[in-house]
Amino acid sequence: MKLPLLAAFLLAFLPTLAQKPKPTENLVQYAKPLVGTAKMGHTFPGATVPFGMVQLSPDTDTLSYEQNGKYNPDVYKYCAGYQYADKTIVGFSHTHFSGTGHSDLGDFLVMPTTGPLQLNPGTADKPQSGYRSAYSHQTEVAEPAYYKVKLEDHNILAEMTATNRVGFHQYTFPQSDQAHIILDMMAGIYNYPDKNVWTFVRVENDSLVTGYRQTNGWARTRTLYFALQFSKPFQQYGHRNYSPKQVYRGFWGRFDQTKNFPELAGEQLRLYFDFQTKANEKIKLKMAISPVSTAGALQNLRAEAPGWDFEQVKRQGQQQWQQELSRVTIQSPKRADKENFYTALYHTFLSPTTYQDTDGQYRGLDQNTHKAEGFTNYSTFSLWDTYRALHPLFNLLQPKRNADMVQSMLAHFNQSAEHMLPVWSHHANENWCMIGYHSVPVIADAIVKGNAPFDANKALDACVTTARQQWYDGIGDYLRLGYVPEDKRGSSVSKTLEYAYDDWCIAQAAQKLGRQDIYQEFSKRAQNWQNVYDKRIGFMRPRLSDGSFRKEFDVLSTHNQGFIEGNAWNYSLYVPQDPAALIQLMGGNSRFVPHLDSLFTMDLPDKFFAETEDITREGIIGNYVHGNEPAHHAAYLYNWTDQPWKTQARVRMILPKMYRPTPDGLGGNDDCGQMSAWYIFSALGFYPVAPASPDYALGSPAIHGATINLENGKTFTISVKNQSDKNVYVKEARLNGQKLTRPFLPHQDIMNGGELTFVMAARP
C-alpha cells in the first residue's frame, strides 16, 4: 500500500478506533470484604452476591451467649461470627449479619477435616481438641462472591462462592483414608444451649441430604430448610445427638441411629460424612437454603446452581457485583479512594437480604407460606440504622429494589398480629430491637421522592396505624403528654425525638398525597421534640410524668440518661426535620455554632461510655460519636447557619478518620450498611439530612469526579475542580451551569440527569 493510501486509511479509521468505548474498569478488585472485621467492625468476609439470602463465611469461634446464667460480654465480638485476630476457624456457615450490634443466624456450619474423626469444635486455647483448624491471613483471600483459606491443621484448601440462595464449597484435600466433612447443626451465632428448638435431617441418597432447624433467638421462632449435595458419594455417614435426655423417647431406640441411618431428629445434632481422597482431590458441595421447605431448597439448588463448575459460579457472582458496583463510577488518582468507595458500596449492597424461594414463596410473619406477587420479598431490616442513609441511597441507586423492600414491609404489616410495620425484623420475625417506628421514613422517603410503584395511600395508612399504637413503647404517654416520660420508659428523650421525626415524615407523605387531615395531625405531633428541650441548660433532657425535668442528669454520659447509643450533647442536635427551628430555640447562630463546634473539638473521657457496649473509642472524634448513628447528620447542620463552610471541613475530616481500606478500617459497626452509606453520600458531596425531604445538604466531595448511572437510563455527573487533600472548601457549586445560591440539592434534579460541578479551594 502506498503511503498516501495508508494515510487515507488511517484517517478514515482512527476516529472509529478513538470512539470505541474503553473496557469497563474492574470495580470488584477495589471492594474489600475484610474491611471492618476487626474490633467493632462486625462485618463478615465471606462469599455472597448482592442482597443474597446465602452469606457464606468463616466463623472463628463458638462462644456461648450465656455464661454462668448471665450474658457473656465476650460474645459481642462475634456478631458476624468472624474475628480477624482469631487464629483458628471453626467452620463455614451460610447465614450472617453484616455490622450489627446484636446477632443471630450462623446456620448449617460445614467443616472439612482429615485424620481421626472429631465432632467437637474444640476451643481456641486447645484447638487440637476439636475439629477447628489454624489458619493464616497469608493464605486468606476475600473478594466479592469468593473466599479462600488454607486450613493448616488438615492441609485442606477451602474455597467458596455463592448464588443468591446457594453456597458453593470447594475443598482440595490431601491424600487421606480419613477425610471427613462435618455438618454441625448445633453451631450458631449468639448461641446458647437451648437455642435449637429442633433439627431434622434426611439422607436422601449417597450424595444428597435435606433437613431443617428451628431456633429460638433474636428471632423467636425461626425455621430454615436446606438441601446439601456432594459432588462425590460419601462412603459412610453418621451423627452424634447431644440433646438432653427426654423422659419420652418413643420406639426409635430399636434402631442404631448413630451410623448410616437416613432419618435423624433432635435438638442438638452433629453429622459427619466420610471419604477417601487422593492428593489434591477436590470435593465440592452445594448448600441451598429455603424459608419454606426442603422441596423449596432443592428447587433453589437446581435453578441457581445445576452444575459443578465452581469457577463459572464464582465468575457469575463477580459479574453481578460488577454490575451493581457500576451504578457509580468514580475518578481518583488514589487507589485507596477507590478501595474505600467500592468497599463502602459493597457493604451497602449486602442487606436487606432476599427472603423467598425462586418461585416467590416465603415464610411470613404469621409463620404461614405466602407468595410475593409482583415484588421480591426482603428480610433483615435494621431500620433504626438504615432509614438515615441506606434507604435514601437505594432511592437513588436501587429504586426498584427499595420499592420492593417497602412492599416487603407492607406485607409484614398485613401479617402482623400487632398491626405494626417492621421495627427490626429478620427471617419472618419481628425482634423489636431499638426504638422508633422507622419503617415510616423509608416509606415516606419513597413516596416524597416519587419512587412509589405501590399503593401509596395504603402505605400511608400503615404508617398512621403504626404511629397510633398507644401500647407500643410509650406512645400512649407521648400522645397524652407530648413526650415519653423517663419514669415510665427508658431512653425517653431519644424516643420522643425519634417519634417526632417519624411523625414529620408521615406529614410529608400525607401532604404529597393530598391527605390534609393526616398532614395536620402529624405536623402537630412533629413539634413534640420541643417538649424535652430544657432552655435553662440548653440541652434535651429527660422529663418525668409530672412535667418536671429529671434532676440527676449528666450531658456527657451515655448510660441511663434518657438516650440510646448517645448522650445529650449528640442527641440535642437530633431535629433533622427542622434544624432552623432548633437553631433558633438554642439561641441562634451565635450560640448554636460554638455548641456544634464543641461537639467535634471537646474530649469525651472513656468513663462516659464505659458502660455502653455499642460505643467505643475508635468511633469517636471529640464528643462526636460517628460510630453510632444518632449524630450522622450533625456535620451537615452548619448548612442551616451562617457558616456552611464548616460542614465541608468537618466532612473531609471525618472521612479519613473513620474509613480506611484495612481490617480495622471502620470506626464502629457498619450496621447493615448505614455507616457505609454515609461514606458514599459524603464522598460524592451531599447527604440526606432528613429522609422524606426532597433535598440533600451539600458537603465536600472526596473524589475527583463521579458518574451515577441511574436506573431510569439517565446519568448524573459530578465534576470536581481543583481537588486535593488541602482544598476541602467548596468555592462554588453549579448545577447544569447554574450557580447554586443555597447549599442544597433537590433529589429530582439528580434523577433528571445532568451535571453538578464543585470548584474547590483551600480557604472557605
Question: How far, in Å, CA of 700 to CA of 760, rounded?
Answer: 8
Looking at residue 316, what is its pLDDT?
Answer: 98
The answer on 310 and 454 residing in a single domain is no
pLDDT in tens, 594-644: 999 999 999 989 888 888 888 888 899 999 999 999 999 999 999 999 999
Q: What CATH number has the domain bearing residue 672?
A: 3.30.2080.10
Specify the 3-state DSSP secondary structure of 152: coil
- Cα–Cα distance between 443 and 578 in angstroms, integer? 19
5 belongs to a structural domain: no
In a domain, 13, yes or no: no
In this structure, the answer to whether residues 344 and 203 fall within a common structural domain is: no
Any domain includes 632: yes
Same domain, 310 and 445: no
Going by C-alpha positions, the residue among 401, 356, 409 that lies closest to residue 381 is 409
In a domain, 3, yes or no: no
Pairwise CA distance, residues 406 & 465, whole Å:
16
147 and 206 assigned to the same domain: yes
Q: Are 65 and 72 in contact (CB under 8 A)?
A: yes
Total-model pTM: 0.96
Tell me what pLDDT residue 15 has.
38
Query: Which residues have C-beta within 8 Å of that of residue 741, sequence separation ≥ 6?
Result: none
Residues 276 and 161 in one domain: yes
User: 339 and 288 in one domain?
Assistant: no
Does residue 317 sit in the same domain as residue 342?
no
Q: In this structure, are 310 and 346 located in the same domain?
A: no
Could you tell me the residue range of the domain that residue 706 belongs to? 327-361+370-761
CA distances from 546 to 52, 483, 493, 498 (A): 50, 11, 15, 22
- Specify if 150 maps to a domain: yes
Residue 313 sits in the same domain as residue 350: no
CA 515 to chain CA centroid, Å, is 33
Question: In which order are the strands placed within the sheet that holds 695-698?
Answer: 686-687, 695-698, 744-746
- Please give, one letter per residue, the 3-state secondary structure of 523-590: HHHHHHHHHHEECCCCEECCECCCCCECCCCCCCCCCCCCCCCCCHHHHCCCCCCCHHHHHHHCCCHH
Please report the sign of the dihedral spanned by the C-alpha atoms of residue 689, residue 690, residue 691, residue 694: negative
Q: Looking at the structure, do residues 241 and 352 belong to the same domain, yes or no?
A: no
Are residues 418 and 269 located together in one domain of the fold?
no
The number of folded domains in the chain is 2
Same domain flag for 273 and 383: no
Q: Is residue 432 part of a domain?
A: yes
Which residue ranges of the chain lie beneath pLDDT 50?
A: 1-22
Give the integer Cα–Cα distance in Å for 519 and 491.
27
DSSP letter at 25 equals P
Assess if residue 6 is contained within a domain: no
* Cβ(62)–Cβ(178) below 8 Å: no
CATH number at residue 233: 2.70.98.10
Instruction: Please identify which residue in the block is written with the cell numbers 448545577.
Output: 735
At 288 the pLDDT is: 99
The reply to whether 619 falls in a domain is yes
Among the listed residues 504, 626, 609, 505, the one whose alpha carbon sits nearest the alpha carbon of residue 567: 609
Q: Where is the domain boundary, 263, 293, 323? A: 323
